[in-house]
Each structure stands twice: as C-alpha cells, then as structure tokens.
Chains A and B, each alone.
Chain A
Amino acid sequence: MELVLRNQEQVLSKIATSDGHGENSAYFDGWKAYDSDPYNPVNNPDGVIQMGLSENQLSFDLVQEWVLSHPEASLCTPEGAREFKDIAIFQDYHGLQEFRNAVARFMERVRGNRAVFDPDRIVMSGGATGAQETLTFCLADPGDAILVPTPYYPGNDRDLTWRTRVCLFPVICDSSNGFKITREGVESAYYKAQDSNLRVKGLLINNPSNPLGTVLDRETLTECLRFTQDKNIHLICDEIYSATVFRQPGFVSIAEIMQENLSRCDPNLVHIVYSLSKDLGFPGFRVGILYSYNDAVVTTARKMSSFGLVSTQTQRLIASMLSDESFVEMFLQESTRRLGTRHRMMSKALAQVGIGSLRGNAGLYGWMDLRRLLKAPTFEAEMELWHVIIDDVKINVSPGASFHCSEPGWFRVCFANMDEETMVVALYRICKFVVHNKESPENVDRRKPCQRRSKLEISVSFRRLKDELLMTPRSAMVQVKE
C-alpha cells in the first residue's frame, strides 16, 4: 500500500487551513516576546513586562479569604465532598439552578439593582469566547455581516467569524469625538455593508469598551437600540467589563434601557454576553454567559451550550460565592476602588511626561495616545514604535492596529494584571523612554524654544516622578459609587 502524505490543504477543512483563528496578528507577537523573556523582579528584572493582557489581579485576597472561610462551597474539601457525586454527575445544560440564580442576582447587583435578570434566560457557554460564537451561530448565516464599532477587541474576529463564517463590518470611530459611536457612523457602515452585498444581521457593542476603557452613555445606547430596531437587526451587548467601572459616569446597561423601552421595542432583537473573567478575575474557570430576551435564542443557545458548558465543580463554587450578598457588595466596592487607584496612578504618571490617554473610567487598561511619538502618522510608524516599546522599553502593550483602530498612534496598556511594584517599574520605563525620545536630536529641533528643557531639569523632574511612584500609597482615596 502506498502511503503518501497528502497535501494538508486537501486533507483538512478550509477552516483548519485558513487564518481565521487570527493568531498571526501582531496582537500575539507581543505575547510571544513576553513569553520568551518574561519579567520577574528577582530572576529577570530586565525582562518584558506584560501590559498586553487584560486581567484583573487586584482583588484575589478578598476571594481567597472568602474561599477559606467557606469550605463547603468546594466539592473537593471534606465539608463539600458529600455533594461530589450529584454534582459530578450533573450534565443538564440548563445548569445548576443555584448557579443561574446566583449569576442573575450578581448581574443585578453590578447594575445597582436597576435591572432585573431572569435566571431562566441565563445560558452557559465556554467563556465569553464561546458565548459570542454561539450567539453568532444563532443569529446569522455564513456570509452575513455583523457591524462592530472600531477599535474593538481582536478576539472578536476569531470568536464571531472563524467557524461561523460570518463577517465583521467595521463602524469607524475616531478620536475627533473621543471614539464615540454615533447614529451617523452606524448608519453609514450599515449602508456601506449593504452596498457590498452583505446582509447585515446585527450590531455588536462592547460596554464598557475594550480597548477604550469608556462606558456608553444612555443616549448612545438608546440610539443603538433604536437603530437596530428600525433596521430589524440584532443588538448584541458585550458587558463583560460591567463591574470594572471605577469612576463616574456610572455604568448603564442595555438591560436598563430595555426595561425603560419595553413597550416600544421588540425584545427578540436584544442579547447580552457576560463572563466572570474580567469582573472577578477568573478567566481560567470559563464562565461564559449568554442572556437573551428572545425565547428561541435562549432555547437554541442552551442546546448549543452542550459544546461548552461550565464545569459543575465551578458552577457550584460560583453559585456559593455569588449568592453571598454581603461578600458581593464588599467585593464590588473594593475591587472598583482598587481599579480606580491603579488607573489614577498610571494616568498621572503618563500625564507628567506628556502622554495623554482617552479619558476612561472602566476596564483594566488605558487607551494611550502616543501619536506624538510616531515618526509619521502611519501604521508602519505605529508598528515601528511598538517594536521599540517591546524590544527596547521591554513592555508589551497592544498597538491600535490590532484593534482595527482607524488612526495610528493609539496603544492599549493594561494596568490590573500586576502588583504595584511591577507597575512602578513599568511606568518608570515608559516615562524614561518618552523623555529620552522627546529629547532625541530628531525631536529637539521640532519643538519651540520655550518647550526645550535642560538635561538637568529633565533628570530632576524624572527622579521626582520615580519617587512619587514609589511612594504612592496602597490604599487610596476616592470612594467609587456603583
């Protein structure tokens, strides 16, 4: 028998041989740089600091304390083991009732009890990743399009299009108005898509926004709802950062807008994606949630959830934790307070060396404006700057191009995935780089005389900045309201 290794393209599917997984994007190159040279304060103090990973590591002490004082919440402690069998056997795709109840209640608390969630509309998925894909499978056919405002989370490309064969069509937003979504922008994208013979099935909005770190105001949300209702297309709201809002304006959920407009709108077109990866910091637990106001979507998505249910061991733990109302209240307050403090630390430090960020009040990152550091206002220049930041400054940040930003020079920088000491080191490196870059011969001549400072002045102010960073108190100032 002749054994010939066939050309892989004939042996595997088109999906398998395509680039639809998106991992060839620059977004991942930074991670690879980090992976090969990761910062460690003791073992590798000159390594790359990871600021490209949007993780919430600031409040694990609170969770761990709770876990330690609630051993019965775990199946695998002596206190919880007697439930082991029933939970290990349970594979019903409705999920444990207590889990759905707890998640629904948590989502209400995060929204300050201004919205009500029905536990029977809670559908599980393999993380928000799985939820986005499942929803897309339910709402759109191959070849259909979903509008998505730029800049947007790069993973959307894989999650919404790879196996579903649906496409994403951008709604271009730019810095001229703080990247806000406008009715005109959405409409323009809608008609452009149609002109390209694409059937638009929905609009995906991310609130709070990744990578912008801003929340959508009531007016914008209402406009998005109105637009989708007018055009009879779906509105998908990714609210996975809903409990990371650390400053006013507060978070307004589409659920609140829905409740206010129930008599005037078709609920069958509105869906929410949620997860515990960002708010609680549990990306490993794969707790994705799909919440739809459309009965058929709930039913169908629930059948599909068999492809990515939440482990019952985890459902059980989460159910216990999130139904502890006093813990939840304390956690939400303290977590947002710490996020706010960390965000302030970063923005203040950057501002002192003239780096602005989009004024954000949510998320685990800032949207940094480095346009002035570009050699030219092009994406090539952005890429060049990015490589300098990774290779020389030794920080992994994420270039705006990987978020499909329409303007070069913006970078997302994460601040909640490290301890304070590392943050100080990172900020110091960035500030040092910016200062030296400003003072480089190419840049000096471009500035006005009054802007030029002596080297001594620069090094003094820089040292002061470093001291300030090191002295930033752990516990901070502002009480954050929900």
Chain B
Amino acid sequence: MEIKNLSTRMLSKIAKSDEHGENSPYFDGWKAYDSDPFDPIRNPNGVIQMGLAENQLCFDLVQEWIERNPEASICSHEGLHAFKNIALFQDYHGLPHFRNAVARFMAKMRGGRVSFDPDRIVMGGGATGANEMLMFCLADPGDAFLIPSPYYPAFDRDLRWRTGVKLIPINCQSSNNFKITKEALEESYQNAKVKVKGLILSNPSNPLGTILDKETFKTLIEFINDKKIHLVCDEIYAATVFGGANYTSVSEIIQEMECDRNLIHIVYSLSKDMGFPGFRVGIIYSYNDNVVNCARKMSSFGLVSSQTQHFLASMLSDDDFMDKYLLESSRRLASRHSKFTNGLDKVGISCLASNAGLFCWMDLRHLLKEETFEGELGLWRVVINDVKLNVSPGSSFHCQEPGWFRVCFANMDDETMEIALRRIRKFVGTNEQENARVKMAKPWRKNLRLSFSSITYDHETRVSSPVIMSSPRSPLVRAHT
C-alpha cells in the first residue's frame, strides 16, 4: 500500500482511475487460466480458455500461403530489396498497396455488394486504437455515446478511459432475442443527462454472435439521422458469418436509404476475421472527410508496422487465396459452432440462435441458484473452479439479465473442445442431482463458497510486481484442423 501511494501520488487522474476496466470479472477468468492453463499432456486438469474470442481455425491455410509467397516478406531473399524503403516508410497515409488491399478485402467479404475507397482507409492501433481514435474525433469529454447492451467489456476502456466520453447502454432483452428496439433507443436518448454524440454497436455482435436484420438497421439509420448523431459500426467480425446467413454491412444500408453519410463510420480489424490480433491492424473507414483527415493525423499514435502492412498487402490482394480462405474459414466456423451448440443442447443448454462470431451466447439461467447477478457470479466461480472452464459472465458485458454467458469456441482444437463439452456435461449432470437432493433436504442456502477469492489477484500486489501477467494472453494450444 505504501509503495502504491508513493508511486501513484504524482500521477494524473486518468492514471489513478479504474477506467481501464481491468478490475472487472472479465479479466479475473483470464487470471485463473493464466495460473492453471490447460495442456492436454502437461496439465490435463487445467482451466480451458473459453473466454478469448480468437480465430485459430485457419492458420494452416495462411502458413501454406506464406511458404508459396516469400516475396511478401521484406526479410526473405525474394523480398529483401524492399526492406529499406519499407523500414523507412512512416507516412500516416499508409502504404498505398496496403490500403488498396484492405479496401478490396472489405468489399470481398461483403460479397462485392459495396466498394470501399482506399483513400478513406485510416490505420489505428488495432480496433482498440481505432475505436478510441473515433471517440476523440467525434465527442468531447463528458459527451456520451449510446451502446446496445450486452456489449464487449473493453469498450469501457477503449471508448471512455482517456477520452472522457460516457457510454449509455440501450437495454436489450432476451424476450425478443436481444434485438434493439426503437423504444429502447428513444428511452436511452431521452433519459441521457448529457449530450449524446452518437451510437456505437458491433455488427456482427459481440457477445451475441448475431447480425443486424435489415429492419432494425433501418430503424437505427432513421434514428441517428433524426437525432443528427453519429453511427459507429464495429464490423470486426464481418467475415466470421457462417451458415450462409445474409450479412448486411452499414456500407450497404446507406446505399439503400437516405442518410447523411457524414454521420457514418466503420471500425474494422484483422484480429478476428484473419486471426492476427498480434499484428495490430486496426482500420477506421469514415464517410466523413473531416473525420478521415483528423483520424489520419491521429493515427501517428498507432500506425500499423510498415513491415506488417507490406506483408498483408500481398496476402489480401491475392484474390484466389482470399476467396478460398473466406469460404473455408466460414465452413470451419459453422462446423465448430454446430458441434458445440449440439453438444450443449444434449445437456439442455441452449444458446441464442447465432450465425456469426467466434462464440455463443449461452443461456444458463436455469442453473442459477437465484435470479440475480450474485447468483450469476456464484455460478461463474463454480464454472471456473470446479468445471475448470473460463467463460465470460453476462454481467461483464453489462447484460441486464443474469444467467447469460459468452463461451468461445474457435480458439482451440477439436480434442480440447470435446474435453470442454465433457466437463460441461458432467457438471450439468452433477448439478441436477445436487439440486434435486438439496431441494428435498433443506431450503437453499448460499453454499457456494467463493473459493475463487483464494486465487483472485489482488490489484494492489500486482502494482508492485508489474511482472505478474494480467492481460489477455492466448492459450498456446495447437489447433489441429
């Protein structure tokens, strides 16, 4: 405590606040995993990481491409001639061939139904940096953005921490499959005590895994035009749509209806569709010229490494490869999703019907001892400690109803997924027996000891030992696909 006081006393308000959000339970599960990670050989009883939305299913395809295309690297014999120019290139416009390739790829995954202007492509430090940058461009400290809940927990950090912007949730209910309604939009807007500058949402949705239907989309466009507020569409899961579902991007909607395009902005990234979160490829695509210019100047704070730009420019502009990749990736995601949801279904666990994303929105309401968020957290700690799975509780996504959990399925191989399903089956079976016995014996009491607290990372001790890992780390589980 003493050390913390000494080292924090001279810092800014931003530094001393908790707005980085890492004290949320969303990260506690990762910490549990970090201290006891599953490994099929070395630690078969460890925690299986199902809280990380990563796409590990198609690396074999990428690796094959790399071996066939050595000139894509500035470090290969074939590509070395470009090393100097690329290493020197720090122009925040980005490499033209990179922007062209990204624009092409974005159009391709939308079935060629829209085209993207490479001159509107602006880089950001991952979607994390891109989202923050947009907030800096569109809102002043104290202003607010509306956001449908449940939403990605790190938005609290990305959109608010250093920008001072507030988030106002739009309440979405399971009764209509968490769809955004006009009434909910109006209610959030009218009740806002501060100036609302825009609305942000992810489509496909994290954590729901659903895509916006056209009707809801039209309602949204009408709403933001009416209120003259911005619409930011985080489309980073756009190429994770599977099962032949019809994905509509905001870029298509605005072709079909009247809209002030100066209010429309897209955030994209290669972290989910391609599985390259380490490469930090964040993209802002704005239809507003001033936003493009301003964001581009800001992008100096988080440009994509020119080495990475150069490599990706090659890969993304290989049309044949990208066509095959998109098809195969979608097929593998569909297969994994189906295996997983069927497995859950067999033990009476349903998920919200979804056709995108790297996760399912699992309904565990029937397993709650009580229909409260305490009940949800209690169940979650049992899932981590006893079932040994890291899943993410709905409350960390600001879900308004307890009992929903996000569970990721694309960041592991088939064998590990089987083990996860087996553990869930066992837990559900045991839980049912236990419930039956307890109901007969005595009134329910809170007997779920919070054993998790024994391995909870104390924030204060972490501060004095910066070496303790507390950030998202990918499980190094080999994916056999």
A contact set with B: CB distance below 8 Å: 1, 3-6, 8, 11-17, 21, 23, 55, 57, 60, 63-64, 67-68, 71, 73-78, 80-82, 84-94, 120-121, 126-127, 129-130, 133, 137-142, 144, 158-159, 162-163, 201, 232-234, 266, 268-269, 277, 281-286, 294-300, 302-304, 306-314, 317
**A16: contacting residue among B225, B279, B290, CB under 8 A:** B290
> Is B75 a contact of A317 with CB atoms below 8 Å?
yes
Q: Taking CB as reference atom, which chain B residue is nearest A267?
A: B7
CB distance from B178 to the nearest CB of A (A): 27
Contact with A along B264-297 (1 / 0, CB 8 A): 0000000100011111100000001011001001
Query: What residues of B have a CB within 8 angstroms of the CB of A89 in the complex?
Result: 54, 56, 275-278, 474
What secondary structure prevails in chain A residues at the interface with B? helix
Stretch at the interface among B301-309, B379-387, B436-444: B301-309
**A295: contacting residue among B298, B463, B479, CB under 8 A:** B463
Query: What residues of B have a CB within 8 angstroms of the CB of A11 in the complex?
Result: 138, 228, 230, 262-263, 288
Interface residues of B in 35-63 (CB under 8 A from A): 54, 56, 59, 62-63
Query: What residues of A have a CB within 8 angstroms of the CB of B278 in the complex?
Result: 87-91, 311-313
**A93: contacting residue among B222, B262, B279, B471, CB under 8 A:** B471
B contact set with A: CB distance below 8 Å: 3-4, 6-8, 10-15, 20, 22, 54, 56, 59, 62-63, 66-67, 70, 72-77, 80, 83-84, 86-90, 125-126, 128-129, 132, 136-141, 143, 157-158, 161-162, 197, 222, 225-226, 228, 230, 258-260, 262-263, 271, 275-280, 288, 290-291, 294, 297-298, 300-308, 311, 462-464, 466-467, 469, 471-474, 476, 479
Question: Given contacts A23-B297, A85-B56, are A74 and B88 in contact (CB under 8 A)?
Answer: no
> Is B469 a contact of A313 with CB atoms below 8 Å?
no
Q: Taking CB as reference atom, which chain B residue is nearest A304?
A: B162
CA A474 to CA B222, docked complex, whole Å = 68
Query: What residues of A have a CB within 8 angstroms of the CB of B54 in the complex?
Result: 89
**What are 30 A-B residue pairs whose CB atoms fall within 8 Å in the complex?**
A1-B226, A6-B262, A16-B137, A16-B294, A21-B294, A60-B87, A64-B84, A67-B75, A76-B66, A77-B76, A80-B75, A84-B59, A85-B56, A88-B62, A88-B276, A88-B277, A89-B278, A91-B472, A91-B474, A92-B471, A94-B469, A130-B301, A139-B10, A139-B12, A158-B297, A268-B6, A283-B90, A284-B86, A294-B11, A296-B15
Query: What residues of A have a CB within 8 angstroms of the CB of B307 in the complex?
Result: 284-285, 311, 313-314, 317
Query: What residues of B have a CB within 8 angstroms of the CB of A311 in the complex?
Result: 278-280, 304-305, 307-308
Query: What residues of A have a CB within 8 angstroms of the CB of B76 in the complex?
Result: 71, 74, 76-77
CA A139 to CA B162, docked complex, whole Å = 13
Q: Which 3 A-B pairs have the closest CB atoms?
A: A284-B306, A312-B278, A74-B75
Q: Taking CB as reference atom, which chain A residue is nearest B296?
A: A21
Query: What residues of B have a CB within 8 angstroms of the CB of A6 in the complex?
Result: 228, 262
> Is A78 a contact of B70 with CB atoms below 8 Å?
yes
Q: Taking CB as reference atom, which chain B residue is nearest A309?
A: B280
> Is B162 a contact of A309 with CB atoms below 8 Å?
no
> Is A297 a contact of B7 with CB atoms below 8 Å?
yes
CB distance from B28 to the nearest CB of A (A): 16
Query: What residues of A have a CB within 8 angstroms of the CB of B22 in the complex?
Result: 303
CA A138 to CA B19, docked complex, whole Å = 13
CB distance from A270 to the nearest CB of B (A): 11
Query: What residues of B have a CB within 8 angstroms of the CB of A159 in the complex?
Result: 301
**A12: contacting residue among B83, B125, B138, B473, CB under 8 A:** B138
Query: What residues of A have a CB within 8 angstroms of the CB of B4 in the complex?
Result: 295-296
> Is B10 a contact of A268 with CB atoms below 8 Å?
yes
> Is A12 a contact of B137 with CB atoms below 8 Å?
yes
**A88: contacting residue among B59, B197, B462, CB under 8 A:** B59
Please indicate which of the listed interface residues A162, A269, A294, A314 has the most CB atoms of chain B within 10 Å of its own CB. Answer: A314
CA A71 to CA B83, docked complex, whole Å = 13
**A308: contacting residue among B84, B89, B125, B259, CB under 8 A:** B125
Query: What residues of B have a CB within 8 angstroms of the CB of A277 in the complex?
Result: 90
CB distance from B80 to the nearest CB of A (A): 6
CB distance from A466 to the nearest CB of B (A): 29
Query: What residues of B have a CB within 8 angstroms of the CB of A16 in the complex?
Result: 136-138, 290-291, 294
CB distance from B142 to the nearest CB of A (A): 11
Query: What residues of B have a CB within 8 angstroms of the CB of A201 in the complex?
Result: 10, 12
Query: What residues of A have a CB within 8 angstroms of the CB of B90 in the complex?
Result: 127, 277, 283-284, 286
CB distance from A204 to the nearest CB of B (A): 15
Query: What residues of A have a CB within 8 angstroms of the CB of B294 in the complex?
Result: 12, 15-16, 21
> Is B303 a contact of A5 with CB atoms below 8 Å?
no
> Is A13 a contact of B136 with CB atoms below 8 Å?
yes
CA A317 to CA B22, docked complex, whole Å = 30
Query: What residues of A have a CB within 8 angstroms of the CB of B13 in the complex?
Result: 141
CA A309 to CA B197, docked complex, whole Å = 28
Query: What residues of A have a CB within 8 angstroms of the CB of B230 in the complex?
Result: 11
> Is A137 a contact of B305 with CB atoms below 8 Å?
no
Q: Taking CB as reference atom, which chain B residue is nearest A295?
A: B7
CA A306 to CA B277, docked complex, whole Å = 11
Query: What residues of B have a CB within 8 angstroms of the CB of A281 in the complex?
Result: 87-88
Query: What residues of A have a CB within 8 angstroms of the CB of B66 in the complex?
Result: 75-76, 78, 81, 84
**A90: contacting residue among B15, B136, B302, B474, CB under 8 A:** B474
Query: What residues of B have a CB within 8 angstroms of the CB of A303 in the complex?
Result: 20, 22, 157, 471
Query: What residues of B have a CB within 8 angstroms of the CB of A92 in the complex?
Result: 469, 471-474
Question: Given contacts A89-B54, A269-B10, A294-B7, are A60 and B83 in contact (CB under 8 A)?
Answer: yes
> Is A126 a contact of B226 with CB atoms below 8 Å?
no
> Is A55 a contact of B73 with CB atoms below 8 Å?
no
CA A284 to CA B82, docked complex, whole Å = 12
> Is A307 a contact of B73 with CB atoms below 8 Å?
no
Using A77-B70, A283-B90, A284-B306 as known contacts, list a sample of 19 further A-B pairs with CB atoms less than 8 Å apart, ordered by residue number in A.
A1-B226, A1-B258, A60-B83, A60-B87, A64-B84, A71-B77, A81-B67, A84-B62, A85-B59, A85-B63, A91-B271, A91-B277, A126-B302, A137-B14, A140-B12, A284-B305, A285-B87, A303-B20, A308-B302
